Structure 1
Amino acid sequence: MKTEVIEKDDQYVLNHCTKYLARESRDARHDFGQYPPGDDRAAICEAWRFPVVDAHWDGVSAASSYPYNDVTFVHDGRRTTPSSVAVLGTFGPLHSPVPLRPLAFAGEPTGFWAVTVRVPKGQVHTYKFAVDGAYVLDPVNPQRAVLDNGEPWSRFFTDACTVPLSFSRAERDLLGRLVRHLLPFRLDENRRFIRGVYESLDRAGRDEEFPLAYQLDDEVGTVNYIDKLIARQEQHNADDYHTCLKIIGEILRSRFGGLDPETAPPEMFADLYRQMETEKVDGWDYSRYGSPRYFLLLLRRHAMTGAFVHPKHGGNSGAAGWMYLESRFRDARDATLFDWRRALESPLGHNTDYRG
């Protein structure tokens, strides 16, 4: 598997990284609980943006470009001034590190090094930097993965990734039930619409209409969206989810005679939500998590965002959430008031200016 390097000018890379990396303050202003004490990443604004995962353009068409991302690895060498930097990862041959090049601005060296490679969407990869021959973790990227041999590597994932990263199978199943009762698709009429969007097409039609989408469910990919959100942008909320899902699972099992919460009736979830709203939940262990209402509001925000977000973020699978809005909001002539396809590139939409 050969690594395809994409040429990006220095201005492109600097535009994507200096806003976050070029700050002089070393105060831990960006630690919301996701970093251990003394971690340098706590001083970096939105460190989760690295490596930079961007849309790919092959110069031919949006349709042929859509299956790929451009992933830009950036190394900040202003303090150590390395003589060589390379990146080694599962996105290419592990025996062939890809060299980074130094970046300049107005003819002067910046201390930053970078390289951009093309990576298919829907994938998860691990990598390390080789700085003057020594292999090190990416000191900026908060994502880490520990391999079977116990060795930590930096990690990234590309758009529309459906590989579970943050939650166990049991947590995902319970989370699916929880968000299902927060979304408008829980009503039978709306559930039939969501199912019909996907099942009305043959296999070829599905590949054309829903590129990179998996089988639609009642949550239209919302659980997958939350999984990716917690893996990257909102790692600081990971403990909230792990703790509260465990507490909620225990409560539902006790109320449902020890049976799996996955099979609990909808009324039980409705009762639970009403109690969480009032901060008075029978059986809630407040010593482990003090505010069930806070978690409910967090879950609602994530669930609604995931249902209607751009599909590249892992939710709104196959743009089914947008199709739902398109069908529901009509004018007097029965034309849609939510023509989302006008704003998106092929193959999801028909805009020729937008490239994702």
Structure 2
Amino acid sequence: MAIEILQTDDQYVLNHCTKFLARDNTDPRHNFGQLSDDDPRSRIAEPWRFPIIDSYSDGNDFVKSYSSNVVTFVYQQPGATPPKNVAVIGTFANLYEPIPLKPVNFVGEPTGYYALSIIVPKGQFHTYKFIVDGQAIIDPVNPQRTQLDNGQLWSRFFTQLCTEPLNFEDWEFDIVARLVDHILPFRTKEGENFLNRYYNFLGKQDKQVQYAYAYRLDESVGAANFIDNILAREENHHLIDYKICLGQISRILRQRNPYVEPKDVSKELYIDLYNEMATNKVNGWNYQQYQEPLFFLQLLRRHTFTGAFSHPKYGGNVGGTGWAYLSERYTDKSGKTLFDWRRAIEAPLGLNSDYRG
């Protein structure tokens, strides 16, 4: 598999990594329960930012460039003695062909960082390892790790617009999607009418290559997919909340209707459960296992609304659907929208020629 290496300067790498890696603290100040205190990542600010996933533009064809990301691997020298060779292997290239990282300097002096930038298509996830002086190791910074069928542990990353399940099992994703449907306005008659009109519009525009990655994930504009993505990265410390509470919700729904899978129970059962969670009093809830169902509901609501109305590159708001809904709903007396989102967003999704995503 051919891989395209992008030549980035040292300043680019330092701008993206020193804020998070260049700290001497030894206390686990960044551990929110997702790590053990003796894990080196517990002292690193926002380790989920690595490898760096950035927008890509070749400077010419912005529509074509929109389909790719720049992925920058950064290895930090752990001790005083620098390694002789640092490389990376992964599923984004020929797996057992190491690609060397180059030393990163600042005003001509070594920084202890090694970096490599490559171009990877959006919508993908990959596993990788560093090869340091001939020894294969997982990325000591990146929290994303996955165990393969052979039992080996590898580091993992995913590019923007990824729709592959990263954390949720199928039944968990189905329950999240049902809960999200209840939170967002797209299950109302008005909302469904809007979605049908807008997705049909996107389908026509897609043929003209104006709306890359405009696809219909679910009736709630991909918010469930967004939640799965952020639980793999910036909100990983809340993954345990979802795992525990989705298990409880599944059990309660089975108790209330043992003849139907939780994803298929009636809308009324989900409404009842939602309302009970809002009062923090859920019949059948195991409070010893998780004390605050209301806290989980508030967490889910925050993630849902963020996903529905944030930039589509984060996995939700598919094709700008959430923004288009706001644009249609909020207008002045003359009918002109008060939320002209396309003026602020990069092509091909929007009309802004300055912003590149």
Q: Give the drift of 1:352.
A: 0.7
CA–CA distance in structure 1, aligned partners of residues 213 and 244 of structure 2: 32
- Segment of structure 1 superposing worse, 108-117 or 205-214: 205-214
| Equivalent pair of 2:31/2:37 in contact (CA under 8 Å) | no
Counterpart in the other structure of 2:16: 16
Q: Give the drift of 1:83.
A: 1.2
* Identity of matched residues, %: 52
Aligned positions of 1:139-154 closer than 5 A? 139-154=140-155
| Equivalent pair of 1:53/1:71 in contact (CA under 8 Å) | yes
**Cα 1:270–1:207 shift into 2, 3 Å:** farther
Counterpart in the other structure of 1:191: 192
Counterpart in the other structure of 2:50: 50
Counterpart in the other structure of 2:137: 136
CA–CA distance in structure 2, aligned partners of residues 50 and 159 of structure 1: 14
- Segment of structure 1 superposing worse, 243-252 or 268-277: 268-277
Counterpart in the other structure of 1:243: 244
Counterpart in the other structure of 2:29: 29
Counterpart in the other structure of 1:156: 157
Which amino acid is 1:237 matched to? H
| Equivalent pair of 2:47/2:141 in contact (CA under 8 Å) | yes
CA deviations on 1:270-323 (whole Å, 9 max, x unpaired) are: 222222122111110111111000000000000111111111100011111111
Counterpart in the other structure of 1:4: 4
Aligned residue for 1:167, secondary structure, equals: coil
Which amino acid is 2:130 matched to? F
Counterpart in the other structure of 2:166: 165
Aligned residue for 2:183, secondary structure, equals: coil
Q: Give the drift of 1:221.
A: 0.4
| Equivalent pair of 1:195/1:216 in contact (CA under 8 Å) | no
Counterpart in the other structure of 1:108: 109
| Equivalent pair of 1:89/1:126 in contact (CA under 8 Å) | yes
CA–CA distance in structure 2, aligned partners of residues 115 and 303 of structure 1: 34
CA–CA distance in structure 2, aligned partners of residues 313 and 12 of structure 1: 22
Q: Give the drift of 1:205.
A: 2.9
CA deviations on 1:201-258 (whole Å, 9 max, x unpaired) are: 5466357343123324211101100001111111111111011011111112212244
Structure 2: gaps of 5 or more residues? none
CA–CA distance in structure 2, aligned partners of residues 249 and 76 of structure 1: 43
Which amino acid is 1:74 matched to? V
Counterpart in the other structure of 2:302: 301
| Equivalent pair of 2:127/2:156 in contact (CA under 8 Å) | yes
Counterpart in the other structure of 1:335: 336
| Equivalent pair of 2:171/2:263 in contact (CA under 8 Å) | no
**Cα 1:354–1:4 shift into 2, 3 Å:** same
Which amino acid is 1:310 matched to? H
Aligned residue for 2:287, secondary structure, equals: coil
Aligned residue for 2:105, secondary structure, equals: strand
Aligned residue for 1:334, secondary structure, equals: coil
CA–CA distance in structure 1, aligned partners of residues 95 and 263 of structure 2: 42
| Equivalent pair of 1:210/1:348 in contact (CA under 8 Å) | yes
| Equivalent pair of 2:28/2:37 in contact (CA under 8 Å) | no
- Segment of structure 1 superposing worse, 203-212 or 343-352: 203-212
CA–CA distance in structure 2, aligned partners of residues 27 and 286 of structure 1: 32
CA deviations on 1:29-76 (whole Å, 9 max, x unpaired) are: 111111134110000000000000000111213212100000000000
Counterpart in the other structure of 2:72: 72
Counterpart in the other structure of 1:60: 60
Q: Give the drift of 1:135.
A: 0.7
CA deviations on 1:113-138 (whole Å, 9 max, x unpaired) are: 10100000000000000111111000
Q: Which runs of 4+ in 1 moved over 4 A?
A: 200-204
Aligned residue for 2:136, secondary structure, equals: strand
Pairing 1:177–2:159 present: no
CA–CA distance in structure 1, aligned partners of residues 98 and 135 of structure 2: 12
Structure 1: gaps of 5 or more residues? none
Relative to the length of structure 1, the TM-score reads 0.97
CA–CA distance in structure 2, aligned partners of residues 189 and 238 of structure 1: 33
| Equivalent pair of 2:91/2:126 in contact (CA under 8 Å) | yes
Counterpart in the other structure of 1:89: 90
| Equivalent pair of 2:202/2:214 in contact (CA under 8 Å) | no
- Figure out how many residues of one structure are paired with residues of the other and give that number: 356
Relative to the length of structure 2, the TM-score reads 0.96
Counterpart in the other structure of 1:274: 275
Which amino acid is 1:191 matched to? E
CA–CA distance in structure 2, aligned partners of residues 275 and 3 of structure 1: 52
CA–CA distance in structure 2, aligned partners of residues 95 and 152 of structure 1: 16
CA–CA distance in structure 2, aligned partners of residues 216 and 330 of structure 1: 28
